[in-house]
Amino acid sequence: MKLEHHQRFDYAPIVDRPNFTWPDGKRLAFYVALNVEHFSFGDGLGHTPTALAPAPDPRNFAWREYGLRVGIWRLFDMMDDLGLPMCHLLNAAVVEHAPQIAKRILQRGDEVVGHGRTNSESQRGLNETAEAELIREATDVLSTTFGKAPQGWMGPWIAETARTPDLLKEAGYQYLMDWPADDQPFWMRTRSGPLLSVPYPIEINDSPTMLSRMQPATDFAQMIRDQFAMSVRLSQRQPLVCGVSLHTFVAGQPFRLAQIERVLREIMADPAFASHVWVTTPGEIARYVQTLPPGTISGDPRSGS
């Protein structure tokens, strides 16, 4: 049986790759990603902590809106107190609906990653013209709001068509986060040249953990704890990326926020955090990778690997 292949990248086992270090000799790149999403009332896709109700379903819509009205502000304050940066996977609709959020992101100097127009829709099933328009519209809004174009993209619902990497490259993007296939960045092929994939934590992610699998906040905290500890250990062999993904309407709930703050403080108090960890963002990872010698990163177009 011949399996279909995406042709975007070749198989490359992590044990066969060149060694390198992150800045200042660090071995583990650590970042926190916050999904900041806005939804249509009464139709379209949407996260839910409980059973869906008939449209317009105010209960679930309002729970999502809680993330923008309350949750994100608690997360901003928590990360200010911890002194940690964030990258924001940001729906363009958020900056039009809640401009105060864009202002706080600018004040903090956080990184913005394109995350479509709204999570009420998905790129899945769109024709090329419609998908290119979705990417263009979202990019234009974020570029105007933040004074520069986003360099990275993750699609709403981490969804793609067969053309998505091509369209992102042609729209000027430098990296994407839709392919959680590795603990290191790797280069992907597109019809217009190479595009970098930066690791995104699909499992160390509050939404699938606590909404899809119905695990408690204490489980999620332990997952972060174990992921960090083992990543530090494994990074002695290969430099790695360790990310934590949050959503405003999930992590922003006080009982979950308590667990997340506690485990982040524990991690930061670990001696390995100062000695081995580069606290960064996906964009900084992408920029650093491009300074490494040819052939260091899997699929590097400069080496033909």
Q: What is the pLDDT of residues 80-106, one digit of tens each?
A: 999 999 999 999 999 999 999 999 999
pLDDT confidence of residue 49: 80
Structural domain includes residue 302: no
CA distance 118 to 97: 11
Rounded to whole angstroms, the Cα distance separating 33 from 200 reads: 9
CA–chain centroid gap for 193, Å, is 23
pLDDT over 90 at 55, yes or no: no
Q: Is residue 304 part of a domain?
A: no
Does the N-terminal peptide bond of residue 56 adopt cis geometry, omega within 30 degrees of 0? yes
Tell me how far apart the 2 most distant CA atoms of the chain are, in Å. Answer: 56
Burial of 74 (0-12, 13-18, 19+ CB in 10 A): middle
Please give the share of the chain, as a percent, with pLDDT higher than 70.
99
Q: State the pLDDT at residue 305.
A: 47
> How would residue 48 be classed by pLDDT, with cut points 50, 70 and 90?
confident
What are the distances in angstroms from CA 77 to CA 65, 91, 104, 193, 263?
A: 18, 21, 10, 40, 16
CA gap 58, 42 in Å, rounded: 8
Which residues, 6 or more positions from 292, have their beta carbon under 8 angstroms from its beta carbon? 20
Give the pLDDT confidence of 104-128 residue by residue, as tens digits. Answer: 999 999 999 999 999 999 999 999 9
- Buried/exposed code over 171-203 (b: 16+ C-beta within 10 A; e: otherwise): bebbbbbbbeebbbbbbbbbeeebbbbbbbbbe
What's residue 245's pLDDT? 98
The pLDDT value recorded for residue 304 is 54
3 inside domain? no
* Secondary structure class of 155 (helix, strand, coil): coil
Distance CA 83, CA 40 (A): 33
User: What CATH code is carried by the domain that includes residue 186?
Assistant: 3.20.20.370
Confidence of residue 50 (pLDDT cuts 50, 70, 90): confident
pLDDT digits (tens, 9 = 90+) for 141-180: 999 999 999 999 999 999 999 999 999 999 999 999 999 9
Number of domains into which the chain is organized: 1
- Cα–Cα dist 67/71, whole Å: 4
Number of residues that this document lists for the chain: 305
3-state secondary structure of 11: coil
Rounded-to-integer distance, Cα 88 and Cα 105, Å: 8
Assign 208 a pLDDT band (cuts: 50, 70, 90). Answer: very high
Does a structural domain hold residue 303?
Answer: no
Contact between 182 and 15 (Cβ < 8 Å): no
- The verdict on residue 86 lying in a domain is yes
Q: Please report whether residue 260 resides in a domain.
A: yes
Predicted pLDDT of residue 47 = 85
- Count the Cβ atoms, other than its own, within 10 Å of residue 18: 14
d(CA 295, CA 180): 21
For residues 196 and 285, the answer to whether their CB atoms sit within 8 Å is no
The model's pTM is 0.96
- How many angstroms separate the Cα of 127 from the Cα of each of 48, 119, 134, 176, 187? 28, 18, 11, 20, 25
Does 243 fall in a domain?
A: yes
Q: Is the pLDDT of residue 136 over 60?
A: yes
Is residue 301 one of the residues assigned to a domain? no
Provide the domain limits for residue 162.
17-42+52-289
